[in-house]
Structure 1
Amino acid sequence: MATDVAAAADKAESSAKGRAGTGWLPRPKRERRRGREAFLGQRQVYILPTGPGLGFAALLLVLLVGSINYNWASASA
């Protein structure tokens, strides 16, 4: 029984050494396109907000309007 466990441990260790550096998931192969370079300027790159990002922007706008209203109310008192 002990020799079976030792043999299994040796087998696992040797197979792990053979896969060293590969990790758990296979890495996608990178395609290299030579001679076809694309230059991106500011007008070609778009950053679009997500749903939560739009919600956060709306929250900031409500807080801004509320703070301006609070400031005007305290100034007139």
Structure 2
Amino acid sequence: MSAISCITLLNKFNIKDVGVLEEKTIDIGIDEGVKLLRSSLQSKTVLTDAFLEKKAGESDASNSSGAHSIVI
């Protein structure tokens, strides 16, 4: 992506502090493909739900502050 495309994307998701972003590399096999498909049918935060483990006691409603999770 070009620099302007990256900046535009960050602005679109209202990201003010790039320090909160995390880069994650994943290998996709059959199990991950099924998780990705399931998440795509049930969630608006597909990549986060499919590939980031939830902490103990955390629920889908725990992110009610309006913050967005983005995986790049």
**Shorter-normalised TM-score: what interval?**
under 0.3
TM-score (norm 1): 0.22
The structure with more radius of gyration: 1
Give the TM-score normalised by the residue count of structure 2: 0.23
* Greater share of residues in helix: 1
Query: Greater RCO between the two (CA within 8 Å, min separation 6)?
Result: 2
